[in-house]
Amino acid sequence: MDRFEKIFFGISVVMLALFLCALFYASAAMHVHVQSSQEVISVKPGGNLAMAVLTTAPFNNPGVKQIGPHDYEVDIIAQAWTFYPSEIKLPAGANVEFKATSVDVTHGFLIPGTLINMMLIPGQVSITHYRFEHAGTYLLLCHEYCGRGHHTMFAKVEVQ
Mean pLDDT, consecutive 10-residue stretches, the chain (160 aa), reads: 88 95 83 68 81 86 91 93 93 92 92 89 89 92 90 92
Q: Are strands 116-120 and 63-66 parallel, antiparallel or unpaired?
A: unpaired
pLDDT the model gives residue 36: 59
Claim to verify: residue 63 and residue 120 sit in the same structural domain: yes
- Identify the pLDDT of residue 53: 86
CATH number at residue 126: 2.60.40.420
Number of domain units in the chain: 2
* pTM score, whole prediction: 0.75
Same domain? 47 vs 116: yes
Q: Are residues 23 and 46 in the same domain?
A: no
> In terms of domains, do 47 and 12 share one?
no
Residue type, 53: V
For residue 10, the model assigns a pLDDT of 92
6 and 79 co-located in one domain: no
Same domain, 141 and 69: yes
Assess whether 45 and 7 both reside in one domain.
no
Edge to edge, the sheet with strand 107-111 lists: 87-90, 154-159, 136-141, 107-111, 116-120
- The alpha carbons of the chain give a radius of gyration, in whole angstroms, of 20
- Statement to judge: residues 65 and 115 lie in one domain: yes
The range of the structural domain enclosing residue 1 comes to 1-33
Note whether 118 and 101 are same-domain residues.
yes
